[in-house]
Chain A
Amino acid sequence: MGSDNKTSLREISTTITGKTRGAAMAAENVRVGYGEKIILSELSLEIRRGEITALVGPNGSGKSTLLKGMARLLKLHSGTVFLEGEELTKMANSEIARRLAVLPQAPTAPAGLTVGELVEQGRYPHAGPMRMLRKQDHEAIGRALELTGTLEFANRPLENLSGGERQRAWIALTLAQATPVLFLDEPTTFLDIGHQLEVLELVGQLNREQGMTIVMVLHDLNQAAQYAHRMVVLRKGSIVADGAPAEVMTGEVLEKVFNIKAHIVTDPASGRPVFLPYAVVKNEEVGRGQ
């Protein structure tokens, strides 16, 4: 993707509202929380079509809350979310499910459920009146299993798989949903580094080959910088930095948001920024610095 193209897209999307052609999704002034407790207030964010957006930030900064709010899994106190320019609240839930797939943080499955049975659930929003699986459903399930490399486990119960295999099975479920937009909440947690990269490579491949728009919460900033087109940094419920990895990964942001001091270098192979932490900033110092 050329950088000129990107800039112009960004310009358009900032001048017009969330209904722009470039925005796959847009949150406008959303206020969302749990019960009376508001976590995000007056937050706006646009997700550009065809991009991988990484949401990063410390624990409890509101990443999952933002993802769930945008995916209609949490009720908004106020504000609007648009999916391809349409208001989510005005769409049927199954219609949303055909266009947006969500993988929550740490999902659970009942005992004995096989990978195949799990992935089959992804066809629910597409199924016909009797909810029977048709030819196109079996094709989509097969494709999802194949893409994630889980075809060989199709008949194995989920609890008998390794963490990485299990995670790929859950991703296969969302792929069977065959949506243009995919939300992933910490898809790499509990995985070893090899399996982490495997999942991220899969995400990159889905983006490149299927043109999927992907929003994912990641904890590893270097991985976010490596695989995402754009990083959105959250801190205490607000967006404090937003842009291409090279713009976001600065000493200032790392210090302010994560309380660390780090050297930032550029990976010669990818041209993406990489940070090397060398010190923790004491909380008091940050407090005074504000």
Chain B
Amino acid sequence: MSVAATPIVRKRIGARPWLVGGLLVLLLFLLIFPALMLGSPVLSLGQLNEILFLNGGEKVPHLIVTELRMPRLLLGLIAGAALGLAGVLLQDSLRNPLAGPELLGVSSGASAVVAAITVFRLPFAFGLTPWLALVGGLMSGMVVILAMRRITNGARLALVGSAITALLNAVVISIISLGSPNDVAVLYLFLLGSLAGRTWDYVNLVWPWLVVCIPLALLCARSLNLLQLGDDMAEGLGLKVLRMRFLIALLSAGLVASVVAVCGPISYIALLAPHLARRILGTSDARQVLPVAALLGSALLVMADLLARLALSPVEMPVGVWTTLVGGPVLLVLLRRQMRSAKQ
């Protein structure tokens, strides 16, 4: 019997993941231009060039580009990637196509902190709010993750997560109901999720987390592939299932906590990006889905943010409205197709 030492198992479509990744990187590059040029004022390419590379231009457009549009674009890119990755991590490790960061209670915890600070006028410097929201998000995330630690049944895990999250959301609502109409308006914007007015301070709060967590998330790919085969199979193949799932939940919390603290709970990116990635790639192989979902998450969030800025200009709609309005129906279509192909 002679068995070739060369890979016998060729991927069905050799170049495809690289092609998809390449196209997405190109798309992200192209998105830089509208993101920095559009809005009020609208800038020309020449003006942009002057501002970015010659450090010139008029004072106000210069400030708008470097202090508002650039951090906003960057935040959209990294927040989108973090949400996309967290979606893959949670969906694969819980084997639940609807699992998302909401399940971890992170956004509820962050929202509760922001609500409490706003409504009770807690004496914290304004710049401190996102940090406190981050602490709140991480703490509630820890509670949920610890509660889920010993549960082996996937459906029960999701139930525990959503139960605790529902409880925290009730707390948020109660706090808001105590607030003045003005507070309510402010909180409403936060709870919808938005990138508007986020400066470099916010970016600086987010990026260190993601520099650590994104590479770690990509390293989970092989474990996620095993978990997709079921807990017994994964354990039998040498993975410590409970410990791995615990670590993956922690990692997801690390990815989204800072994002939520800064941008509010932006919905649907974490659900949509992984499903789109799987459909485009035609595989559930996490080694391909993870990076593509990250790129897709970035692209989706930046595009949604452009819509938020431009659609009803000069009025700005929070980006969370758009991700929900567009993301909900698209997700429905994707899941319907998936169910149809599963039936065959």
Which chain B residues border A93 with CB–CB below 8 Å? 235, 238-240
Closest to B7 in A: A138
Which chain A residues border B285 with CB–CB below 8 Å? 113, 117
Does A142 lie within 8 Å of B8, measured CB to CB?
yes
Does residue A177 face the partner (Cβ distance < 8 Å to B)? yes
Q: Given the complex of chains A and B, what is the CA–CA distance between A135 and B8 in angstroms?
A: 11
The distance from the CB of A19 to the nearest CB of chain B, in whole angstroms, is: 23
Does A73 lie within 8 Å of B3, measured CB to CB?
no
Answer whether A138 and B284 are a contact pair too, CB < 8 Å, given A97-B236, A104-B232, A108-B229.
no
Does residue B283 face the partner (Cβ distance < 8 Å to A)? yes
Q: Given the complex of chains A and B, what is the CA–CA distance between A118 and B233 in angstroms?
A: 11
Considering only CB atoms and an 8 Å cut-off, how many residues of chain A contact the other chain?
47
- Quick one: which of B10, B233, B284 contacts A113, CB cutoff 8 A? B284
One digit per residue, 1 when the CB lies within 8 angstroms of any chain B CB and 0 when it does not, for chain A 242-254 equals: 0000000000000
Answer whether A109 and B237 are a contact pair too, CB < 8 Å, given A131-B222, A139-B3.
no
Considering only CB atoms and an 8 Å cut-off, how many residues of chain B contact the other chain?
33
Q: Given the complex of chains A and B, what is the CA–CA distance between A154 and B3 in angstroms?
A: 14
Does A102 lie within 8 Å of B236, measured CB to CB?
yes
Closest to B10 in A: A155
Does A138 lie within 8 Å of B238, measured CB to CB?
no
Answer whether A112 and B283 are a contact pair too, CB < 8 Å, given A120-B9, A124-B239, A155-B10.
yes
Which chain B residues border A142 with CB–CB below 8 Å? 3-4, 8
* Beta-carbon contacts under 8 Å, A130-152 to B: 131, 133, 135, 138-139, 141-143, 145-146, 151
Does residue A96 face the partner (Cβ distance < 8 Å to B)? yes
Which chain A residues border B12 with CB–CB below 8 Å? 114, 155
Which chain B residues border A78 with CB–CB below 8 Å? none
Does B229 lie within 8 Å of A109, measured CB to CB?
yes
Answer whether A155 and B237 are a contact pair too, CB < 8 Å, given A102-B232, A121-B229.
no
Does residue B338 face the partner (Cβ distance < 8 Å to A)? yes
Q: Given the complex of chains A and B, what is the CA–CA distance between A111 and B338 in angstroms?
A: 9
Does B9 lie within 8 Å of A94, measured CB to CB?
no
Closest to B287 in A: A131
Does residue B1 face the partner (Cβ distance < 8 Å to A)? yes
Does residue A116 face the partner (Cβ distance < 8 Å to B)? yes
Q: Is the interface of B mostly helix, strand, loop or mixed?
A: loop
Does residue A215 face the partner (Cβ distance < 8 Å to B)? no
The distance from the CB of B20 to the nearest CB of chain A, in whole angstroms, is: 15
* Beta-carbon contacts under 8 Å, A213-249 to B: none
Q: Given the complex of chains A and B, what is the CA–CA distance between A95 and B232 in angstroms?
A: 16
Which chain B residues border A138 with CB–CB below 8 Å? 4-9
The distance from the CB of A65 to the nearest CB of chain B, in whole angstroms, is: 12
The distance from the CB of B8 to the nearest CB of chain A, in whole angstroms, is: 5
Does residue B226 face the partner (Cβ distance < 8 Å to A)? yes
Q: Given the complex of chains A and B, what is the CA–CA distance between A151 and B2 in angstroms?
A: 13
- Quick one: which of A113, A120, A133 contacts B283, CB cutoff 8 A? A113
Does B282 lie within 8 Å of A125, measured CB to CB?
no
* Beta-carbon contacts under 8 Å, B56-76 to A: none
The distance from the CB of A283 to the nearest CB of chain B, in whole angstroms, is: 33
Does residue A268 face the partner (Cβ distance < 8 Å to B)? no
Closest to B221 in A: A131
Does B282 lie within 8 Å of A94, measured CB to CB?
no
Which chain A residues border B54 with CB–CB below 8 Å? none
User: Which A-B residue pairs are the 4 nearest by beta carbons?
Assistant: A116-B9, A97-B238, A125-B238, A94-B238
Given contacts A120-B9, A125-B237, A146-B1, 8 further A-B contacts (CB under 8 A): A93-B238, A98-B238, A112-B284, A124-B226, A124-B237, A142-B3, A142-B8, A145-B8
Q: List 18 A-B contacts (CB under 8 A).
A: A71-B236, A73-B232, A95-B238, A98-B238, A102-B236, A108-B230, A110-B228, A111-B338, A111-B342, A112-B278, A112-B283, A113-B285, A114-B12, A117-B9, A139-B5, A141-B9, A142-B8, A159-B342
